[in-house]
Amino acid sequence: MTRPQNSPVHYQEVARDGHARAGVFQTKNGQVLTPAFMPVGTQATVKALSAQEVSDTGASMTIMNTDHLWLRPGAEIVKELGGLHKMAGWKGAIATDSGGFQAFSLAARTKLSEEGFRFSSHLDGKRLLLSPEEAMRVQGALGSDVAMQLDVCLPGQTERSQLVDALERTTRWGRRCLDSREEGQAVFGIVQGGTDIDLRLRHIEELSAMEFDGVALGGFSVGEPPEKMHHALGQVAHRMDGERIRYLMGVGTPRDLVIAIGAGIDLFDCVMPTRNARNGQVFVPRGKLVIKNSKFKTDSRVIEEGCDCPACAAGLSRGYLRHLYVAGEILVHRLLSLHNLRFYARLVADAREAILAGDYERWSKEKLREFQLGAE
């Protein structure tokens, strides 16, 4: 394995229990205790929440989106405003996705070639090329702590030959990203290969031989059954380089996180906590509540007893929150988002404590059993 020299980030494992591990990820803008969950701030903001509110949930790192910020307001404007940290008022670490997943999600409007992704802007129809070099240039201007390489992400049920083409192109693009990286910015490689174990292990070996500052697993939770993803994670996550942080992109449910941490993953991001909140769904230890359901109309209980999020700490009832949701009040989106982000932050913090105590196997089994009971 080839590890980067003079890397701007550093990962140190401090405890391991089975494959699960607790560590410290040091960046130029702060320390992240792992396992950790990054809230998604696509447009340089977690929807409806201030940077301080997100920080108060327990998050120490967020992820923002290169593609969206490249189109609006523009990388140069972000740079002129002092970079993402200053512009958004975020004092912790920031990762930026490269735009590869957006190309996947907008495949009908995107043309893939060795150059990169050609697509039409959804804002003004302008034809653009997102190449590995441009992805690095934009992320350099944004000033994130961690830049993700441009990769090729495919749907979960893709044929093996197409998966091979995607991972080989991702490797070539990875070299181009490293060759054009901004000074002082960490770059993570992205492992592809679907749920094919052999391809995943092959790609892990290829990317680990390159000077990436961290390695991520991409191309999961893109249509494959959760059981197949969990099986693949159990086979490949612990085979990733233990001296670099291991990041699982875009995943997922609380159950996914508990299983993936047990497989050896350190870092996560997902839109689920805030997207579900905007759809009236809140996470609790026994699953989730759909707060808009009529059964909560006169429910005087808080979302989750013992939770210290703003809604629960203030004693706001499920009935009141349902009223706000049905009435279309913006406040409910903020309160439910804060609860869900706090739930995720507490979950990974509790996982860390279980690892440090050498108790992860028992703790994780209890959590997974609890999730299946169903919310009251």
pLDDT digits (tens, 9 = 90+) for 288-345: 999 999 999 999 999 999 999 999 999 999 999 999 999 999 999 999 999 999 999 9
Give catalytic residue positions.
Answer: 97, 269
* Rounded CA separation 60/75 (Å): 23
Average pLDDT, the chain: 95
Number of alpha carbons in the 13 Å side-chain half-sphere of residue 368: 14
Mean pLDDT in residue range 216-222: 95
Helices (H), 83-131: 83-88, 100-105
Q: Does pLDDT of 3 surpass 80?
A: no
pLDDT, tens digit, 9 for 90 and up, residues 237-257:
999 999 999 999 999 999 999
Quickly state the pLDDT bin for 352 (edges 50, 70, 90).
very high
Pick the CATH number of 10-270 from 3.40.50.2300, 3.40.50.300, 3.20.20.105, 3.40.1050.10: 3.20.20.105
Mean pLDDT in residue range 115-127: 88
Residue type, 242: G
% of the chain at pLDDT higher than 90: 90
- Return the minimum-mean-pLDDT range out of 32-41, 150-159, 199-208, 260-269: 150-159
φ and ψ at residue 242, rounded to 5 degrees: -75, -15
User: Please, what sign has the CA dihedral across residues 38, 41, 45, 47?
Assistant: negative
| pLDDT value of residue 123 | 83
Number of alpha carbons in the 13 Å side-chain half-sphere of residue 317: 10
Global pTM? 0.97
Q: Does pLDDT of 107 surpass 70?
A: no
| pLDDT value of residue 110 | 86
Cβ contact 32:24 at 8 Å: yes
| pLDDT value of residue 105 | 63
* Rounded CA separation 145/22 (Å): 21
- Domain limits, the chain: 10-270, 277-371
Quickly state the pLDDT bin for 373 (edges 50, 70, 90).
confident
| pLDDT value of residue 2 | 77
Provide the token pair at 313.
């700490």
Residue type, 276: N
